[in-house]
Chains A and B, each alone.
Chain A
Amino acid sequence: KQEVTQIPAALSVPEGENLVLNCSFTDSAIYNLQWFRQDPGKGLTSLLLIQSSQREQTSGRLNASLDKSSGRSTLYIAASQPGDSATYLCAVDTNTGFQKLVFGTGTRLLVSP
């Protein structure tokens, strides 16, 4: 059974810092990995998706990497801003062909002005 863990569970940083969020999964047979952000009272916003054959994806200040063999992904946020404050979730597609996502436990990020 696929299990996804995120470290740290919570993170508080001052504005401007670069930071790294970690995601690990137990079964390397994944189809892809997706990073989301969740704002209080709102749904999930898709940030980046990395296919299993890819090593990284970039969007603006965000860079996600994937090491499938070791079961790890990182989300790098450059020059953090207070608007980045949210809960960040990683999710793996379990390679069943039906796009079933298994979600991590989340990292709650607070960026202070």
Chain B
Amino acid sequence: SAVISQKPSRDICQRGTSLTIQCQVDSQVTMMFWYRQQPGQSLTLIATANQGSEATYESGFVIDKFPISRPNLTFSTLTVSNMSPEDSSIYLCSVGGYSSYEQYFGPGTRLTVT
């Protein structure tokens, strides 16, 4: 397994601003993922962030809105740009690439946009 931390744990932001969420893992991993969980909904994959390559975005998510960095094998950031109230969600990072095929999740960042 892996121990994953996220910063910040929660934030309240103004419409039109941007927030960068950090994800730190206690060991090197090949695959990192970013998910969004809107209020009352299940998790939706935003993008896959593998070190050394550009992030791969899922349908409905674009790089201009959710730029992602993956500078090394233990760290990634997700930026939520030009925020609107519809971006109010929990954002979670996860790691994979293990021989067991399991994925492990961070505690999430609860974002409220006013």
Contacts and interface: CB of A to CB of B under 8 A. Distances in A.
Nearest to B100: A49
Interface string A70-113: 00000000000000000001010100001111111110000000
Given A34-B102, A34-B103, A99 B4 contact: no
Q: Give chain B's interface residue range (CB within 8 Å of chain A).
A: 20 to 34
A46 B103 contact: yes
Q: How large is the interface on A (under 10, 10 to 19, 20 to 34, 35 or more residues)?
A: 20 to 34
A24 interface: no
B42 A44 contact: no
Interface in A59-77: none
10 contacts: A44-B43, A49-B102, A91-B43, A98-B31, A99-B103, A100-B45, A101-B43, A103-B44, A104-B42, A105-B42
